[in-house]
Structure 1
Amino acid sequence: MSVTKSMTGLLGEILVAEGALDEEALVGDILPELADSAFGDATVQQLLEMTTGLAYSEDYSDPNAEIWAYNAAASPLPKPEGYSGPRTYYEYLATVQPEGEHGQVFGYKTINTDALGWVIARTTGESVTSLLSSRIWQRIGAEQDGYFTVDSIGTPFAGGGLSAGLRDMARVGQLVLSEGVINGERLFPAAAVERIRQGGDRQAFAAAGYRTLPGGSYRGMWWSLHNDHGAFAARGVHGQTIYIDPTAEMVIVRFASHPVAGNAANDPSSLPAYQAVAEYLLEKAH
């Protein structure tokens, strides 16, 4: 699910750190296909922090939310008779209309990550799956293949399509904790993780009203807690997590299927539990 976003965001931050991608560039300049959509005048940084102004609801309990039209476009299965909507991720992204101003308020919308995935593909000439494989997966000693769901033309679901083994996700977490180094080899600049750890616009995040993440922010498609330990995390909708605590030098990976589609339902128990493990490890180290 949305832990995938953090893999796509990490690739984006790596490209920014390496100078291959300008975070001040407008999405419409990189992708002329999106110039007339709501994404056209957003910056790459606004994509990475999800502070774009988009007319798009991701409320799974609302049958009229745009998420369902997006899902219909994304399905690799043959479209039902009479269907006249977009048929791919990219076709759907071109239809997104503006709502509000870019850069003002954090708005958690998966389509930002799919737009970033397209930016990455256009910038590098490689799909998100190809780049993730060559830059990270093949080099971390992964014990299983990773898999991505795709749309009808094979575009990977950059916003939520990755399936992978638990220990391999822990390897990714360890790579990020070590700021790009694993098994003695540097895979990408430390600046990529430093920027994620620094976090995004905390004022814009506060305006979104995430009660279980007070003082938090979002950058590079990772959630920053800005707690005393500087913890940050990749998070999926049903509780899936890569939780990184740099102070305790700790990575926790959890697979989950919490019945409520939103981390606010499990944060009150999960976040204190992660913190308690970190404090135990620090105590044991001393």
Structure 2
Amino acid sequence: MDGRPMTFAKMLEETYTDGIAVLHRGKLIYERYFGALKPHKPHIGMSVTKSFTGVLAGILVTEGKIDPQAPVTDYVPELKASAFGDARVHEVMDMTTGLEYTEVYTDRNSHVWGLRRANGMAPIPPNYDGPTTIFDFLVAQKKQGEHGKAFAYKTVNTDVLAWICRRASGLTLSDLLSERIWTQIGAEEDAHYHVDRIGTESGGGGLSTTLRDLARFGETMRNHGRFNGRQIVPSSVVEDISRGGDPEKFKPAGYTTLPGASYRNQWWVTHNPHGAYMARGVHGQGIYVDPKAEMVIARYASHPVAGNAANDPVTLPAYMALAKALIAGG
């Protein structure tokens, strides 16, 4: 955002892109791979995983298996004594819970590192006596502030939502994703979940897919849940997400690269003139859906900086420029 002119190709280089796929009206118009990534190889999606969890929860809501207004403890009574003991499901879906938990990737004392140790993404240090499974970590969460007041990005919400999805469906998260989405969109390759020491999937950051399959999921969202001529995700789920949440609740979180944005059911909604919305993960993972330009961008990356504030000033203007070019080209 320093005013330098930049090509799309230069943007990919400057943001450590591993692979990018662009769909326009459902056609693959651009696909490039860098470094070790290849079309058939999976790449971890980090927090793009959350958006899959949100869509699965949305499907279960439309089936009447989850009530967003219900207390979390209706589904997971084990959380009664935790911060989530008086939270409602929709507050977990939209991350408006009041939690002591912090998510600062550069601070090894931040709670996100405790979550990483619990979910198996970080090693257990010597003499560690904290939680070593996702469930144990979640039941130990403490409350801070009020639920429902403001958005605060905290991965533990998504892991609670994944737990609710398991209980409501009677399936593991991987079986639920396989049954409701993966087999339905005609994915080319298997997807994989990172699991903790007892086999619980990381619903907040553990999904790995190929780039093309990530793009297929994005295209399903752009088409209001339809893909391959079939309604896979109820259109009401996609429309609820794309409408977005409350920008006033989002504002206190201080995302300077996302002015006027909101967060809805594990998706980031820009409220820009094109109505674009996104799945986002640390180090530059993303799905960018631009309904007006009929464009979907799927991207995997290895940016050395975790937070997307390092990517946004370069990637978001490039995506908008490409969208405008596609609209102008008809």
Specify if TM > 0.5: yes
Say which structure, 1 or 2, has more relative contact order (CA 8 Å, 6+ apart). 2
Q: Return the alpha-carbon distance in structure 1 between the equivalents of residues 145 and 194 of structure 2.
A: 31
Match of 2:220 in 1: 175
| Local SS of the residue matching 1:234 | strand
Is structure 2 residue 227 aligned with structure 1 residue 196? Answer: no
CA distance in 2, matches of 1:62, 1:49: 25
2:308 corresponds, among 239, 263, 270, to: 263
**Residues 1:54 and 1:252: Cα distance change in structure 2 (over 3 Å):** same
**TM-score using structure 2 length:** 0.84
3-state SS in 1 of match to 2:183: helix
Report the counterpart of residue 235 of structure 1 in structure 2.
280
- Counterpart of 1:66 in structure 2 is 111
Q: 8 Å contact 2:70–2:89 — kept in the other structure?
A: yes
Q: Give me the whole-angstrom Cα distance separating, in 1, the residues matched to 2:320 and 2:124.
A: 46
Is 2:113–2:122's contact at 8 Å kept on the other side of the alignment?
no
**TM-aligned CA deviation for residue 20 of structure 1:** 1.9
Q: Please, which of 22, 30, 46 is the counterpart of residue 91 of structure 2?
A: 46
Q: Which residue of 2 aligns with 1:95?
A: 140
Is 2:70 the partner of 1:25?
yes
Q: Provide the rounded CA distance (Å) in 2 between the counterparts of 1:55 and 1:76.
A: 21
Q: 1:258: how far off?
A: 1.3
1:275 aligned to 2:327? no
Deviation of the 1:77 alpha carbon: 9.1
Q: Which moved more, 1:129-138 or 1:75-84?
A: 75-84
Q: Pick from 237, 247, 253 the counterpart of residue 208 of structure 1.
A: 253
With 79-88 and 127-136 compared, the bigger mean Cα shift is at: 79-88
Q: 2:78 is matched by which residue type in structure 1?
A: E
Q: Is the 8 A contact 2:76 2:167 kept in 1?
A: yes
Task: Please tell me whether residue 36 in structure 1 is matched to residue 81 in structure 2.
Answer: yes
Whole-angstrom CA distance in 1 between matches of 2:128 and 2:313: 42
Say whether residues 1:218 and 2:266 are aligned partners: no
The structure in which a higher percent of residues are strand is 2
Q: Using the alignment, how far apart are the partners of 1:244 and 1:66 within structure 2?
A: 31
Q: Secondary structure at the match of 2:284?
A: coil
Q: CA RMSD in A?
A: 1.4
Paired position in structure 1 for 2:166: 121
C-alpha displacement at 1:95, in angstroms? 0.2
Relative to structure 1, is the Cα distance of residues 258 and 78 closer, same or farther in structure 2, using a 3 angstrom cutoff? closer
CA–CA separation in structure 2 for the residues paired with 1:272 and 1:81: 45
Tell me the distance in 2 between the aligned counterparts of 1:251 and 1:74.
31
With over 3 angstroms needed to count, the CA separation of the structure-2 counterparts of 1:76 and 1:258, relative to structure 1, is closer
**In the alignment, what sits opposite 2:203?**
158
Give the Cα–Cα distance (whole angstroms) in 2 for the partners of residues 247 and 19 of structure 1.
31
Distance change >3 Å, CA 156–CA 218, structure 1 → 2: same
Distance 2:109 2:215 in 1: 37
Q: In the TM superposition, what is the alpha-carbon distance from 1:188 to its structure 2 partner?
A: 2.5
Q: Is the 8 A contact 1:140 1:172 kept in 2?
A: yes
Distance in 2 separating the partners of 1:75 and 1:280? 43
Relative to 1, partners in 2 of residues 1:53 and 1:141: Cα closer, same or farther, differing over 3 Å? same
Native 8 Å contact 2:116 2:122 kept in 1: no
From 236, 245, 248, the counterpart of 2:293: 248
Moved over 3 A (4+): 76-83
Unaligned runs of at least 5 residues, structure 2: 1-45
What is the Cα deviation at residue 179 of structure 1? 1.1
Task: After TM superposition, give the deviation of residue 81 of structure 1 in Å.
Answer: 5.6
Residues paired across the two proteins, number: 285
CA distance in structure 1 between the aligned counterparts of 2:182 and 2:196, rounded to whole angstroms: 22
Judged with a 3 Å threshold, the aligned counterparts in structure 2 of structure 1 residues 110 and 77 are, in CA distance, closer, same or farther, namely closer
Letter in 2 for 1:236: G
C-alpha separation in 2, matches of 1:247 and 1:56:
37
How far, CA to CA, are the matches of 2:196 and 2:122 in structure 1? 8
Moved more, 240-249 or 59-68: 59-68
Unaligned runs of 5+ in 1: none
Once residues 76 and 160 of structure 1 are traced to their aligned partners in structure 2, the CA distance between those partners, rounded to angstroms, is: 10
**Tell me, what secondary structure is at the counterpart of 1:39?**
helix
